[in-house]
């Protein structure tokens, strides 16, 4: 903070009118040029595509209006299952991620088994493709014919997503814990707080705040990956689109499904961007103080 | 008669095979203000960190109040830190909490005080140091001087018997040093025992009951400010003072 003072009678801010007019004019010109350039690009690309010999067929099989109207309500209906999988999986992922991240940083020798287990879990589930985990759990566990274990495809598909994403989210949380400067822990300990209290009240709240943007990113990814559960057979949106496509030999339902995903993920992406920008601003302010 | 609060005997501490403290002895009486001076790397910060157990010593012992051995293997360090406060060069306020929450956190969690009781105590302290208006602000809205004064209040809220200040004005804009030093001056007048590592020689001369010059991990020379600043016995002390007072 500088103790700058202005002369009495001088305005708070002063902007040379000529300079201001010039800046405004340049901004207007930049906006016009940008719009024209974008419009030209879209026209050229659209024209080029429509001139290709295959275009009429593509238009008929992927962008068929009546087919779109016929399949869209069914897709929306099926999408509810994706939404349900997402809503059940996400809180569980956050919980597992946090617990695993905390277990991996344990220092007590007595709790070494927990630390080893957590490390193994992350290594394995980060290393195996999500779709493979879904196959293995979805077909493997019901085949064991265990008593009292559900053999429902949605259950195991969701469980596979939780296990796979839990490993990623655990690493995100761990990075967040690592991003809190060690001087914070030192300050808390010097005030007499125990190690546990320090984690609970000082380190974790800051760590979680730091990883909100990457976590939102993983949420977006999970929304899309609910479609992977289709390989086990339940009629979620991708499965429904496959059924529509194979009964009419028209692929418009896939485009409809893509639009539904986009309608959900784009607002989420913008929200993540907004959160990230806000946090960057706050951090810059904190740095200046 | 003066009663000893802290007795440091033969403390050694090395980092990566390089000894920072080499059998350092120092005793501090209750209500005494001891100022540590010396070049960077002479062991001032390390000594302060050893006193409240943020660093473990390699050899020697540190006795608080004649009975609590900070350096013993089975000492409950949380109990030690409840009795010894420390303030760092880089304030280290908790950025996700308001000023008031920063101050009341450990009274509530460590001393198990009620929230209204700890709140009243914190507000009284903030009031005393001219920070009451900042109680609901977050640390990123404070100037460096305000942040450091809040850090001092936060340590005071634990009602420590001994306060350690580790170059608390070194990170501050020169214009803001004064308000922090005023705070320390007031604590000294209130009778708090304090050990302060600093490069502010003028302040050391004014506030210290005793000045200790640290060199190569030992207290090379100590005495009243008049003695150490006025007529230093050791060549190294003279050399250090002439460089820093230039």
Sort out which chain B residues have CB atoms less than 8 A from A186's CB and list them. 54, 88, 92
Candidate ranges A9-18, A114-123, B64-73; pick with highest mean pLDDT: A114-123
Nearest residue on chain A to B147, alpha-carbon basis? A289
Q: Give the C-alpha distances (Å, rounded to integers) separating A195 from A66, A201, B101.
A: 64, 10, 19
Per-residue pLDDT, B32: 94
pLDDT greater than 80 at residue B29: yes
Per-residue pLDDT, A8: 67
Per-residue pLDDT, B167: 92
pLDDT greater than 60 at residue B1: no
The Cα–Cα gap between B21 and B24 comes to 6
Sort out which chain A residues have CB atoms less than 8 A from B96's CB and list them. 205-206, 209
**% pLDDT > 70, chain B:** 99
Sort out which chain B residues have CB atoms less than 8 A from A183's CB and list them. 88, 90, 92
- The answer to whether B82 faces chain A, any CB pair under 8 Å, is yes
**% pLDDT > 90, chain A:** 62
| Number of domain units in chain A | 1
Sort out which chain A residues have CB atoms less than 8 A from B158's CB and list them. 191-192
Nearest to A4 by CA among B144, B93, B124, B175: B175
Give a yes or no: residue A42 inside a domain.
no
- The answer to whether B68 faces chain A, any CB pair under 8 Å, is no
Exposure letters A7-25 (e unless 16+ CB within 10 A, then b): eeeeeeeeeeeeeeeeeee
Sort out which chain A residues have CB atoms less than 8 A from B173's CB and list them. 1
pLDDT greater than 60 at residue B204: yes
The Cα–Cα gap between B75 and A167 comes to 38
Average pLDDT over every residue of B200-229: 92
Cα A77 to its chain centre, rounded Å, is: 23
Task: Determine whether the interchain pair A183/B92 forms a contact, defined as Cβ–Cβ distance below 8 Å.
Answer: yes
User: B161: how many CB neighbours lie within 10 A of its CB?
Assistant: 15
Using one digit for the tens of pLDDT, what is the confidence trace for A22-60?
999 999 999 999 999 999 999 999 999 989 988 888 888
Give a yes or no: residue A119 inside a domain.
yes
Give a yes or no: residue B149 inside a domain.
no
pLDDT greater than 80 at residue A286: no
Per-residue pLDDT, B244: 85
Per-residue pLDDT, A7: 61
B94: nearest CB among A184, A197, A286? A184
Cα angle value A275/A279/A283 (rounded, 5°): 175
With both helix axes pointing from N to C terminus, report the angle between B99-109 and B144-156 in degrees, rounded to the nearest 10. Answer: 20
Give a yes or no: residue B102 inside a domain.
no
Interface A-B, measured as beta-carbon pairs within 8 A, has a size of 70
Per-residue pLDDT, A289: 38
The Cα–Cα gap between A55 and A49 comes to 7
Task: Determine whether the interchain pair B139/A289 forms a contact, defined as Cβ–Cβ distance below 8 Å.
Answer: yes
Split at pLDDT 50, 70, 90, the class of A283 is: low
Split at pLDDT 50, 70, 90, the class of A285 is: low
Average pLDDT over every residue of A254-274: 90
Which carries the bigger pLDDT value, residue A146 or residue B139? B139
User: A284: how many CB neighbours lie within 10 A of its CB?
Assistant: 10
B94: nearest CB among A3, A202, A289? A202
Using one digit for the tens of pLDDT, what is the confidence trace for B30-61?
999 999 999 988 899 999 999 998 999 999 99
The Cα–Cα gap between A273 and B52 comes to 44
- Looking at residue B208, which CATH number applies to its domain? 3.40.50.300
ipTM exceeding 0.95, yes/no: no
- The answer to whether B133 faces chain A, any CB pair under 8 Å, is no
Give a yes or no: residue A250 inside a domain.
yes
Using one digit for the tens of pLDDT, what is the confidence trace for A100-113?
999 988 888 899 99
Using one digit for the tens of pLDDT, what is the confidence trace for B132-174?
999 999 998 999 999 999 999 999 999 999 999 999 998 888 8
Give a yes or no: residue B22 inside a domain.
yes
Give a yes or no: residue B136 inside a domain.
no
Split at pLDDT 50, 70, 90, the class of A288 is: very low
CA distance B96 to chain A (A): 7
Per-residue pLDDT, A160: 95
Task: Determine whether the interchain pair B109/A201 forms a contact, defined as Cβ–Cβ distance below 8 Å.
Answer: yes
Which helix H or strand E contains A82, and what residues bound it? helix A65-104
A191: nearest CB among B77, B158, B173? B158
Sort out which chain B residues have CB atoms less than 8 A from A206's CB and list them. 94-96
Which helix H or strand E contains B97, and what residues bound it? none
Average pLDDT over every residue of A166-171: 96
Cα angle value A120/A125/A130 (rounded, 5°): 175
Give a yes or no: residue B122 inside a domain.
no
Using one digit for the tens of pLDDT, what is the confidence trace for B77-135?
888 898 999 999 999 999 999 999 999 999 999 999 999 999 999 999 999 999 999 99
Average pLDDT over every residue of A72-91: 94
Split at pLDDT 50, 70, 90, the class of A287 is: very low
Nearest to A153 by CA among A253, A228, A240, A96: A228
- Joined together, the tokens standing for residue B96 give 């996700």
Average pLDDT over every residue of A261-278: 88
Instruction: Yes or no: say if B205 and B224 are a contact pair by the CB < 8 Å rule.
Output: no
| Number of domain units in chain B | 1
- Looking at residue A95, which CATH number applies to its domain? 1.10.3720.10
Per-residue pLDDT, A115: 94
- The answer to whether B147 faces chain A, any CB pair under 8 Å, is yes
pLDDT greater than 90 at residue B176: no
- Joined together, the tokens standing for residue A65 give 């209006």
Beta strand B193-197 with B162-166: parallel, antiparallel or unpaired? parallel
- Joined together, the tokens standing for residue B119 give 């709140």
Nearest residue on chain A to B109, alpha-carbon basis? A193
Length of chain A: 289
Sort out which chain A residues have CB atoms less than 8 A from B109's CB and list them. 193, 197, 201
A286: nearest CB among B81, B92, B95? B95
Domain containing residue B36? 4-95+162-244
Instruction: Assign residue B17 a region (left: φ > 0; alpha: ψ between -120 and 50; beta: otherwise).
Output: left
Domain containing residue A135? 71-283
Beta strand B84-87 with B68-69: parallel, antiparallel or unpaired? unpaired
Per-residue pLDDT, A157: 93
Considering chain A, what is the average pLDDT of its residues?
89
Instruction: Yes or no: say if B148 and B172 are a contact pair by the CB < 8 Å rule.
Output: yes
**% pLDDT > 90, chain B:** 75
Instruction: For A231, list phi and psi in degrees, rounded to 5.
Output: -65, -20
């Amino acid at each position: 903070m500088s103790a700058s003072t202005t002369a009495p009678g001088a305005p708070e801010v002063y902007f040379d009118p000529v300079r201001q007019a010039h800046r405004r004019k340049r901004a207007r010109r930049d906006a016009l040029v940008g719009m024209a350039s974008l419009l030209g690009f879209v026209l050229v690309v659209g024209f080029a595509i429509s001139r290709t010999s295959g275009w009429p067929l593509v238009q008929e099989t992927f962008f068929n209006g009546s087919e779109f109207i016929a399949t869209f309500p069914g897709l929306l209906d099926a999408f509810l299952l994706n939404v349900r999988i997402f809503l059940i999986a996400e809180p569980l992922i956050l919980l597992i991620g946090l617990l695993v991240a905390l277990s991996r940083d344990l220092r007590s020798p007595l709790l070494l088994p927990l630390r080893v287990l957590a490390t193994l879990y992350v290594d394995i589930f980060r290393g195996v493709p999500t779709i493979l985990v879904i196959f293995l759990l979805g077909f493997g566990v019901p085949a064991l014919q265990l008593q009292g274990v559900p053999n429902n495809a949605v259950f195991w598909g969701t469980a596979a997503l939780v296990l796979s994403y839990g490993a990623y989210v655990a690493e995100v949380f761990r990075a967040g814990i690592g991003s809190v400067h060690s001087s914070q822990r030192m300050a808390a300990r010097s005030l007499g707080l125990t190690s546990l209290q320090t984690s609970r009240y000082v380190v974790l709240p800051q760590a979680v705040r730091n990883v909100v943007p990457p976590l939102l990113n993983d949420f977006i990814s999970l929304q899309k990956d609910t479609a992977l559960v289709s390989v086990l057979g339940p009629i979620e949106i991708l499965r429904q689109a496959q059924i529509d496509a194979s009964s009419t030999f028209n692929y418009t339902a896939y485009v409809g499904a893509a639009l539904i995903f986009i309608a959900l993920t784009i607002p989420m992406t913008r929200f993540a961007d907004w959160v990230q920008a806000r946090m960057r601003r706050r951090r810059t302010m904190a740095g200046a103080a | 008669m003066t009663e000893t609060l802290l007795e440091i005997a033969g403390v050694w501490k090395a980092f990566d095979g390089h000894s920072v403290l080499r059998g350092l002895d120092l005793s501090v009486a209750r209500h005494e203000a001891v100022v540590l001076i010396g070049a960077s790397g002479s062991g001032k910060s390390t000594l302060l960190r050893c006193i409240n157990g943020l660093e473990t010593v390699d050899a020697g012992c540190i006795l608080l109040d004649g009975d609590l051995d900070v350096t013993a293997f089975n000492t409950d360090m949380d109990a030690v830190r409840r009795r010894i406060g420390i303030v760092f060069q880089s304030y280290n306020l908790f950025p996700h909490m308001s000023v008031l929450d920063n101050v009341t956190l450990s009274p509530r969690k460590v001393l198990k005080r009620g929230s209204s009781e700890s709140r009243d105590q914190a507000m009284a302290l903030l009031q005393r140091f001219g920070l009451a208006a900042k109680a609901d602000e977050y640390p990123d809205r404070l100037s460096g001087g305000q942040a450091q004064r809040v850090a001092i209040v936060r340590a005071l809220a634990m009602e420590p018997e001994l306060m350690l200040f580790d170059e608390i004005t070194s990170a501050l804009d020169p214009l803001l040093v004064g308000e922090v030093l005023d705070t320390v001056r007031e604590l000294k007048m209130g009778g708090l025992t304090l050990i302060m590592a600093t490069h502010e020689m003028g302040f050391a001369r004014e506030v210290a009951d005793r000045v200790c010059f640290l060199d190569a991990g030992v207290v090379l020379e100590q005495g009243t400010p008049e003695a150490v600043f006025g007529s230093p016995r050791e060549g190294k002390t003279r050399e250090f003072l002439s460089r820093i007072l230039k």
